[in-house]
A and B are shown apart, each in its own frame.
Chain A
Amino acid sequence: MDAAKEKITELQGFKLHVIETEKYKTNTFVWKMKAPLTNDDVTKRALLPQVLQSSSAKYTSTPALRSYLDELYGATLFVDLAKKGEYHIMSFSLEIANEKFLSDSTPLLKKGFELLAEILTNPNISGNGFDQKTVEKEKRTLKSRIHSVFDDKMRYSNVRLLEEMCKGEPYALQVNGVSADVDEITPENLYEYFKRAFQEDEMDLYVIGDVNEAEVKKLAGELLQFEGRTPKKVNTKGITKRAEVNEIKEEQDVKQGKLNIGYRTNIVYGDPDYFDLQVFNGIFGGFSHSKLFINVREKASLAYYAASRLESHKGLMMVMSGIDLKNYDQAVSIIHEQMEAMRNGDYTDEEIAQTKAVIQNQMLETLDTPRGLQEVLYHNVIAKTAINLEAWLTEMQKTTKEDIMAVAKKIDLDTIYFLTGTEAGD
């Protein structure tokens, strides 16, 4: 396998991760900023990257900045947010063509690097704050992004499950923040937050492509310098098991019901049984050969999709399926039966081998895309581990039936959420 060697260097205020590979026609930069997920900061952190990517001191308007990106052979610049466990992560990605594949051989890597540094460190400021017009329009966009979750029922029901399941925990917060808090943000207090985030966040830069490590290190050291810091750590308190399963039904005008079930796995990335959990999830609901797909979709014809996925840093497993409103009881009971079968070890050695093969395949495929590779490597930053890619795959292969049954015993059903129609049961 081509697992790409990651070279990590501690620079001023951040870590540089370089992955040299000739696979791609482009070079990719990803700048990550990580901080604890909190009610006070989440909305500002959702807005900040949008404001930074819309203009800078040098490119004072969006058309000016975007025109420059177009000139750089359509370099892409985008920002996104993620919740990983109880951390909130801002990402700034820039991908730029490798001039080796262009008829115009003007070097582009340095230009891309300079532009990323400009976006991060040289914002469009007036007085003691960001440019007011920029902040106003990005506040409007952020609000519409928060509201748009309602219109996508698959996402909505997942968000609602987490809100209900993790009530009182930071993880209940939405990645895009709180609509009502958007109004409180001013160009000045956002600028204050910007300075604080660059002083306190744990920051990592990934550079992936046909690059020279020494050259990247030199450029990174020149262009990006911040004060040293000790990253803040979240102390996740132990979650006590619910005495009774939390069952929520919400009515809306929908044709298809959305069934989302949340479990606490009590296992996170870095735990010795984390790889066993991956195999567990693969047999239970991760793939099209899994129990959920076979029993909910293929055998009972109840759904088009029925799957489970893991949240590796918070220790959650979520089941999701879209079903006819009248089939709620049947679907829930089939899913419970599959979990029971997992606890009882009701799977063959062949199924285990098949699942490992598919997980290995999925992992190797993820490593084929620059952003996929970067995200896999970033798990180590969040979990403070140093699991390399080879170890990931060899450890997962060691999982036995007993290991999977042991994992099954640790998993607790927490919340069943159903978005149902106004004519349920008809």
Chain B
Amino acid sequence: MEKITFDQVQEELYHEKMSNGLNVYILPKKGFNKTYATFTTKYGSVDNTFVPLGKEEYVKVPDGIAHFLEHKLFEKEDGDVFQQFSRQGASANAFTSFTRTAYLFSSTSDVEKNLETLIDFVQEPYFSEKTVEKEKGIIGQEITMYDDNPDWRLYFGLIQNLYQNHPVKIDIAGTIESISHITKDWLYECYNTFYHPSNMLLFIVGPVDPELFMNQVRENQAKKEYKDMPEIKRQFADEPRGAAEKKQVLQMNVQTSKCLVGIKALHVDQTGNEMLKNELTMNVFLDILFGKSSEHYNQLYNEGLIDETFAYDYTQEQGFGFAMIGGDTSEPDQLAEKLKKMLMDATNSNTFSEEQLERAKRKKIGAFLRAINSPEYIANQFTRYAFNEMNLFDVVPTLEKITLGDVQSLATEIISEERFSVCQVIPKK
């Protein structure tokens, strides 16, 4: 077990790689009641074409299967794992993203028992045809719920505009039609390929003794047999640099229009420090341009083109990435044009000042401190960073090194008409 110390933020992290390849991290948090643990596989909705374990040929699996598997892993021959967690005073949950599936619990008592339950339920699948069929009704309602949600439709609509081939454009839950093809055999095939310990990370944060818990995980893993796993082969179709569609307008049962402008990212092959610097620089760029202290934000707000729902965000993962800017608006076309123009103008040199950069950095540093008050944030983000070979605790030192030149050159490179796209939701006529 190695101990890593982060002096500035006064945190300590313990790490060990188990002999089966599982990476385990423990971060003790004194004074907290709650222990929060996540057990995450590097497997999400985009991993839909791969070579199954022990086979030679690529297969393409039904849309929504990673998410479906997440639901079904909770069900065992003798009942539901949710029940077991709540008998042990814990609350359990799970989520599936584009690139990860995470299982988690939080509890303030019986932490050892809950940790054992978490590891065992994820490592002991039980899928049957009967329960798979039953789940289709439940997930069908989850899909329908999102269908009626204009913000989700807007967000996904924009991703679909930006990406031509990449599976990020497929809704994480799939469709009612696509999940109808899911069988227990498909679930086992995905499970066996992606839930090997060497593709997973366990993170524990809370008022815990690291040695005690590391030992528990060690003993738990020693009882289970895993063969060494060859590297997982995943396939992604080639993706053009430009956006697939320039614009999409969705008519929905709403009163207020919505508009998002998207930029398709570059450098989505990056990992490690390079990726960390790129995404932080992009975040700083967006903060300077559209943060509440910016001229642009205030101009748009004063003109009545945006309201408090206005937001911006940047996502970067292996093989895809995008920035999104927008929110509710009375004038979706006008807002789209203005946002695009503001972005284009930012490619001119000398757009930004040292003062703006310094403020944006300070804002981000403060936000990081606030975020690490939260055990959930630490566990989930640390895992995401680790899967991309980055370290969450490098955020502040990396931020401090960003220069005006970095921001300017990234802006000049990424901002281009061909990578823009617009998605709008407008009231149905």
Contact = CB atoms under 8 A, between A and B. Distances in A.
B115 interface: no
A358 B375 CA distance: 19
A226 interface: no
A297 B138 contact: yes
A281 interface: no
Nearest to A287: B86
Given A256-B141, A361-B109, A2 B366 contact: no
B256 A144 contact: yes
A73 interface: yes
A137 B301 contact: yes
Contacts of A368: 32-34, 375
A66 B87 contact: no
A301 B309 CA distance: 34
B141 A302 contact: yes
Given A288-B86, A323-B141, A361-B89, A97 B370 contact: yes
Nearest to B400: A103
Interface string B103-127: 0001111000000000000000000
A100 B90 CA distance: 33
Interface string B51-91: 00000000000000000000000000000101100111111
Nearest to B142: A304
7 contacts: A74-B362, A74-B364, A150-B255, A152-B149, A298-B80, A357-B88, A369-B374
Interface stretch (B227-235, B287-295, B405-413): B287-295
Closest 8 pairs between A and B when the two form their complex, measured CB to CB: A74-B366, A301-B137, A357-B89, A73-B366, A74-B363, A66-B293, A364-B33, A304-B142
A125 B86 CA distance: 54
Given A140-B307, A256-B144, A369-B374, 10 more contacts: A70-B363, A74-B367, A96-B366, A301-B137, A302-B137, A304-B142, A322-B141, A360-B108, A361-B106, A368-B34
Main secondary structure of the interface of A (DSSP, over half): mixed
Contact of A2 (B33, B292, B293, B295): B33
B253 interface: yes
B356 to A, nearest CB: 9
Give the contact-size bracket for chain A.
35 or more
A332 interface: no
B369 interface: yes
Contacts of A151: 150, 254-256
A367 interface: yes
A228 interface: no
B237 interface: no
B240 interface: no
Contacts of B398: none
Contact of B256 (A67, A101, A137, A148): A148
Given A74-B362, A365-B33, A358 B91 contact: yes
Interface in A351-366: 354-355, 357-358, 360-362, 364-365
A357 B293 contact: no
Give the contact-size bracket for chain B.
35 or more
A232 interface: no
A380 interface: no
A70 B292 CA distance: 9
Interface in A319-372: 322-324, 350, 354-355, 357-358, 360-362, 364-365, 367-370
Contacts of B135: 301
Given A255-B144, A304-B138, A26 B373 contact: yes
Contacts of A288: 82, 86, 91-92
A278 to B, nearest CB: 15
A256 B83 contact: no
Nearest to B9: A101
A324 B373 contact: no
A24 B307 contact: no
A256 B138 CA distance: 12
A358 B369 contact: no
A63 B145 CA distance: 38
Given A144-B307, A252-B253, A369-B374, A73 B363 contact: yes
Given A66-B292, A148-B256, A75 B33 contact: no
Contacts of B304: 137, 140
Contact of B359 (A67, A98, A365): A67
Nearest to A300: B137
B223 interface: no
A323 B328 CA distance: 27
Contacts of B302: 133, 137
Contacts of B295: 63
A95 interface: yes
Most buried by B among A152, A305, A365, A369: A365
Interface string B283-311: 00000000111110110011010011100
Contacts of B365: 73-74, 97, 102
A379 interface: no
